[in-house]
Amino acid sequence: MDAVIAGFLERNLPDFVHCFHVEIDGTENDYFSVTANNDVVSVSANCYVSAFHGIYCYLKKYCRVQLSWCGNQSINIDKLVMFNGEYKKKIKQKFRVYMNYCTLNYSMCWWDFERWEKEIDFMAMNGINMPLAVIGSEAVLFETLLEFGFSEREALDSISGPAFWAWQLMTNITGYLPPPSKKYVYERLALGKKLLERYTEFGMYPIQQGFSGHVPALMKKKQGVKLYMQRGWNGFEKTAQLNPIDPFFKTFGTAYLNKLCELMGFYGYIACDPFHEGTPPKQGKKYLYAVGKAISDLYAEFDESTQTEKKTVWVMQSWSMRTDIVKAVDKDRLLILDINSQKTSDNNTVKKYPVVAGMLHNFGGKNAMQGKLKLHCKNSWLELKQNGVNVVGSGMFMEGIEQNPVLYDLQFELLTVDSEMDFDIWLRDYIERRYGGSNSILENAWDLLLQSCYKDSGYEENEVGSAAVSRPQMIPFMTGPCCYAKPFYDTAVLEKAACELLAASSDFSESDGYQFDLCDVTRQVLSNRFYINQLEFADAYRKKDISAVKSIAEKQLELLKDLDYITSFRSEMCLSRWLYDAQSLASDEEEKRYFSFNAKVLITLWGDINRKSYLLYDYSWREWSGLIKGYYYERWNMFYGRVIHCLENGKRFKDREFNNYGIRMKHLKYPLGKEIGEFERKWCEKYEEISQYPADRNVVSAAEALLKKYI
């Protein structure tokens, strides 16, 4: 058996390796064909990805398999199901792209190769053939800077830490929480090379990191070049940008590309987003056109100098796309990732270029239950195509994974279908695969979920917050800079859904997918209840009802402990897993502490709280066990204590409700805000060694007790 196929089967279906017969014919168009008889599953396909996708589609359709990051994390079947006839599929999307830059840090920054290997198999099973592949680019930048007169320490100080590197690649920051030694950048290089080896072994098209002009500000002193300073991003220091039409841009860019080729190899697709969420140094169409031409010429000349067989293709996100830059690039040298499928359909110039239709869900890796499931079934690839866009692929560009498993199962399926999907049929199939069966109770639970957290109107998918983890206020308005704390649906409907899901436990409690979902919906019920209780707290405060204020505060703190407790039943919802993975990736004690600090800062402060201009704190909030009790609980405890103290002493509570994240910074001007800010900083700095990965436990009894308590 082919070694690549054998390896895939041994990792994912070890008991059935010899029950599969796979043939790859090497034809151009993506397809698979599956037959299953006489205890053998035969798969023919044009390439490895199509074959592995065919195997997974067969497992879903006939063996009722559902793989997920959240429960059901491995294939568990007793037998392979035989069937009559042929199961086949042609895939019209040439490219199926995976990962936003942010995904790499909000969810993946602590993955070792074993975890990445599992994800790459999962990508292939879902038909993905174009992953973002920028891990290891730290070393490319490091060695390139050394060539331009930087010392090792200066070059390291120009590299952001493992939890923040994505935003440096997007030109937002430079050298935030830099690594303590060069050992780190070469560890990233070693991992990145392994990933590229597997991607290319599978026949995927990895997207590597290009050069858009972002350099350390120290470059001005080292090389005497003129730099343009981008406006500060979310309060961080301004970043330096080479003007793409300056000759030094080509000098440094060529050196960078040569170093990339030397250290990691070069595979043809190169990510580059000039002025991402920033301001060009000059305005006007003429200048922007010159920028596009300069960058495109850089790649063309690199092709010529290295005599590559294929043209380098510039891969550009649509998020900060500028039409005049696009116009300067030949159509066969540009691939546009329309990451939310909203930037190209009305742009008559851009829609003629090759475009990937994307799905953008979940800012920051937060775990609120939410998603417009029925709307997704309309298929953004099809909608762009019908609107005249030259759509050549589909993609998933969420900022964080490991939440809302139903939405991602749906999205993975949409990557390779060319029509609208019947949601009702799909959902019935999903329920059966997710739980190992179905009944009227489960179906009713999901009907209620569709009427509440998964409804299709009344909210934006990336703006769903949580009062429980908001920075304490009388009535939390926002959680972080873009999430609204108030539930967007009738919370009583979700509570009914939770009770229905619990009622199915006698038949489905052995299902890992069921265990995760019951834990998740119980978590969401308690989270919603915190907001409702807080309205009562604010009312009691206005009435100066000290007894009620104390009673509700005590009830809220108890609820936070219960929220922490219920999430402890699933490893996916444990802070200890996040920290354990961070520490396990480290090669020595110094790195353990460095990685842990990065891990804690990302999901809380997102910047030094003493720098009062930083605006992103709480952006990446998580309702996780350990984080709730150790961090959010303590903030609320300080808040309630201060409010009660003021009431008891006839003082005015000097706080206010803040209606946007910029004004929230004023919180630090109050004594309570300063106290909370000092606590947050110390919490991030405190190192605690995590010696054990959290275990999953049966959640039914705990969920039953808490739902009875709060409903």
696, 571 Cβ separation under 8 angstroms = yes
The backbone torsions φ and ψ at residue 88, rounded to the nearest 5 degrees and listed phi first, read -140, 160
Amino acid (1-letter code) at residue 85: G
Q: Is 132 helix (H, G, I), strand (E, B) or coil?
A: strand
Taking the C-alpha atoms of residue 444 and residue 439, their distance in angstroms, rounded to an integer, is: 9
Residue from 261, 194, 177, 8 nearest 602 by CA:
177
* CB-based burial, 446-468: b 16+ in 10 Å, e otherwise: bebbbebbbbeeebebbebbbbb
Say if residues 447 and 427 touch (Cβ distance below 8 Å): no
Span 31-62, pLDDT tens digits: 999 999 999 999 999 999 999 999 999 999 99
Residue-level pLDDT at 480: 87
Chain segment 594-620, per-residue pLDDT in tens: 999 999 999 999 987 666 667 888 999
Q: Residue 658: which pLDDT band, with cuts at 50, 70 and 90?
A: low
- Looking at residue 667, its pLDDT comes to 73
The secondary structure of 468-509 as a DSSP string is TTSPP-SS--EETTTEE-S-SS-HHHHHHHHHHHHHTHHHHT
Sheet holding 40-45, edge to edge: 20-24, 40-45, 31-37, 83-90
**Mean pLDDT (whole number) for 455-459:** 96
- Give the residue among 312, 640, 308 at the shortest CA–CA distance from 474: 640
| Least confident interval from 267-276, 541-550, 638-647, 689-698 | 267-276
Strand order in the sheet with 227-229: 214-215, 240-242, 227-229
Q: To the nearest whole percent, how much of the chain has pLDDT over 70?
A: 98
Q: Which is higher by pLDDT, 665 or 367?
A: 367
Ranges assigned E (strand) in 14-82: 20-24, 31-37, 40-45
Cβ neighbours of residue 348 under 8 Å, at least 6 residues apart? Answer: none
Q: Where is average pLDDT lowest: 145-154, 247-256, 299-308, 389-398?
A: 299-308
- pLDDT tens column, 578-588: 999 999 999 99
Backbone angles phi, psi at 682, to 5 degrees: -65, -35
DSSP letter for each residue of 94-107: SEEEE--HHHHHHT
User: What pLDDT shows up at residue 220?
Assistant: 96
The rounded distance, in Å, linking the Cα atoms of 50 and 126 is 9
- Positive/negative CA dihedral, 69, 71, 74, 78: negative
Q: How far apart are CA 267 and CA 165, in angstroms?
A: 22
pLDDT of 339 over the 90 cut: yes
Is the confidence at residue 165, as pLDDT, over 90? Answer: yes
What per-residue confidence (pLDDT) applies to 558?
Answer: 98
Tokens of 498: 């939770």
Residue 478 CA, distance from chain mean position = 21
Give pLDDT, residue 610: 65
- What integer pLDDT is reported at residue 609 of this predicted model? 65
Of the candidates 397, 401, 398, 443, the residue with the CA atom closest to the CA atom of residue 424: 443
Tokens 């030694």 — which residue? 181
Tokens of 508: 């489905």
At 662, the pLDDT band (50, 70, 90 cuts) reads low
Instruction: Check residue 286 and give its pLDDT.
Output: 94
Average pLDDT of the residues of the chain: 95
pLDDT tens-digit readout, 105-114: 999 999 999 9
**Strands 334-338 and 313-317, how do they pair?**
parallel
Query: What is the C-alpha separation between 394 and 415, in angstroms, rounded?
Result: 6
For residues 181-187, average pLDDT: 98
Rounded to 5°, angle at Cα 36 from 32 and 40? 110
Residue 316's closest CA among 286, 275, 267, 287?
275
Report the C-alpha gap between 436 and 12 in whole angstroms.
19
Using the predicted structure, report yes or no on whether residue 660 has a pLDDT greater than 60.
no
Residues 58, 13: Cα–Cα separation, whole Å = 13
Predicted local distance difference test score (pLDDT) of residue 659: 52
CA atoms within 13 A on the CB side of 45: 27
Determine the pLDDT at residue 670. 80
- Beta-carbon neighbour count of residue 709 at 10 Å? 12
482-516: burial string, b at 16+ Cβ within 10 Å, e else: bbbbbbbbebebbbbbbbbbbebbebbbebbbbbb
Helix locations, 307-379, DSSP H: 323-327, 373-376
- Render pLDDT for 501-556 as a digit per residue (tens, 0 to 9): 999 999 999 999 999 999 999 999 999 999 999 999 999 999 999 999 999 999 99
Q: Mean pLDDT, to the nearest integer, of 434-463? A: 97
SS3 229: strand
Q: Is the pLDDT of residue 664 over 80?
A: no
DSSP secondary structure of 586-646: -SSHHHHHHHHHHHHHHTTTSS-TTSTT---TTTT----BTHIIIIIHHHHHHHHHHHHHH
By C-alpha distance, which of 631, 610, 670, 681 is closest to 473? 670
d(CA 596, CA 604): 13
Per DSSP, what are the bridge partners of residue 22?
Answer: 43
pLDDT-based confidence at residue 230 (cuts at 50, 70, 90): confident
Region 330-339: mean pLDDT is: 96
pLDDT for the residue 591: 98
> Which pLDDT belongs to residue 62?
98
Pairing status of strand 40-45 against strand 20-24: parallel
